[in-house]
Structures are given as C-alpha cells and as structure tokens.
C-alpha cells in the first residue's frame, strides 16, 4: 500500500499548491453503494502533505445513514474528500483527528458550503470512532 506522504507522480509545482491533482475515477460495484478507484486520487493539503489513494482502493464514499440521504447523499461535491477520508481511516498512519480535519479541509477546497462541510465533519467526529477502532483492531 502506498504511504500517506508519497510525492511520486507529482510535479514540483503541484506539490506546492493545495487541492486535488487528479480526478475521481471510479467503477461502481454491483449494488451501487461502493466503488473501486480506477486511477490513483492525488490530494495535496494546505500544509503540503501529499495523499495518494491508490487505484484499486475500495470506498463507500460518504458513510451517511440512509435516513439523511435526502440532505447528504453518499455521492456529491464532497466525494473526493470522502474517498481520501476513507483511505486515511483504512491506512491509519495518522491520528484520527488528522484524518477528520483533512476531510474538512478537502471539502472546503472542493467548494462544499460551510454549513454542509461542518455538519459532515461533526458527524465523522461523532460517529467515526467505531470504524476507526475496527480498522485498528484488524491491523489495518
């Protein structure tokens, strides 16, 4: 699995400017709820951290309970940020709070409204402990 701080595949100027450096390209799996990345997804944080989510990574996009899908569907403008967040939760390599803050930051860069990104951030702060813990127990 590729490391969180990998800089391979980025030009020098790309590593200096924050934002997504590739498009989200996924194949939706049967059932329509999960997808597999067909190409790496590259993100550079405001602090200059480079996150490369590898091709083949499986995501469920935004893990929103079905009751809230009318307001926050699993797919939306925030989908690339959700994929990066999923990857950080699976890989670990950083504290949970860092993964959640990267989600918030990436949503801002994507132009998600202040209200929506803060609701989603608060939701992962409240409900993300269980999946984070399960991944750590499984040695992920």
What Rg do the C-alpha atoms of the chain give, in angstroms? 14
Per-residue model confidence as pLDDT tens digits over 36-94: 999 999 999 999 999 999 999 999 888 877 787 778 877 889 999 999 999 999 998 89
The pTM of the full predicted model, rounded to 2 decimals, is 0.84
4, pLDDT greater than 70: no
Instruction: Domain ranges for the chain, please list them.
Output: 12-135
**HEC profile for the chain?**
CCCCCCCCCCCHHHHHCCEECCCCCEEECCCCCCEEECCCEEEECCCCCEEEECCCCEECCCCCCHHHCCCCCCCCCCHHHHHHHHHHHHHCCCCHHHHHHHHHHHHHHCCCCHHHHHHHHHHHHHHCHHHHHHHHHCCC
Rounded mean pLDDT, 127-139: 77
Least-confidence region, from 29-33, 53-57, 115-119: 29-33
Nearest to 62 by CA among 80, 39, 37: 80
């Amino acid at each position: 699995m590729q490391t969180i701080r990998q800089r391979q595949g980025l030009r020098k100027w790309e590593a200096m400017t924050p934002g997504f450096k590739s498009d989200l390209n996924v194949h939706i799996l049967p059932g329509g709820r999960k997808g597999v990345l067909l190409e790496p997804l590259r993100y550079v944080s405001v602090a200059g951290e480079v996150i490369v989510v590898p091709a083949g990574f499986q995501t469920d996009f935004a893990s929103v309970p079905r009751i809230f899908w009318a307001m926050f569907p699993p797919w939306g403008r925030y989908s690339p940020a959700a994929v990066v967040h999923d990857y950080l939760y699976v890989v670990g390599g950083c504290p949970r709070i860092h993964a959640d803050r990267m989600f918030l930051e990436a949503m801002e860069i994507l132009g998600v409204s202040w209200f929506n990104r803060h609701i989603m951030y608060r939701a992962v702060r409240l409900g993300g402990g269980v999946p984070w813990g399960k991944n750590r127990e499984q040695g992920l």
